[in-house]
Amino acid sequence: MSHLSSKEFTAANIAVLTVSDTRNESTDTSGGYLVNALAEAGHKLAYKKIVIDDPYKIRAVVSQWIADENIEVILITGGTGFTARDTTPEAVSVLFDKEVEGFGELFRAVSYQEIGSSTIQSRALAGFANNTVIFCMPGSTGACKTAWTNIIHEQINSQHKPCNFMPHLGKK
pLDDT digit of tens for each residue in the chain (172 aa)? 457 666 789 999 999 999 999 999 999 999 999 999 999 999 999 999 999 999 999 999 999 999 999 999 999 999 898 888 899 999 999 999 999 999 999 999 999 999 999 999 999 999 999 999 999 999 999 999 999 999 999 999 999 999 999 999 986 5
Rounded Cα distance, 25 and 93, in Å: 26
Rounded Cα distance, 88 and 35, in Å: 19
Strands 13-19, 132-137: pairing kind: unpaired
pTM of the model: 0.95
- Specify the pLDDT at position 8: 86
- Specify the pLDDT at position 5: 62
Rounded Cα distance, 112 and 159, in Å: 28
- Specify the pLDDT at position 1: 47
- Specify the pLDDT at position 171: 62
> Per CATH, is 13-168 categorized as 2.40.128.690?
no
Rounded Cα distance, 52 and 17, in Å: 10
The domain spans of the chain are 13-168
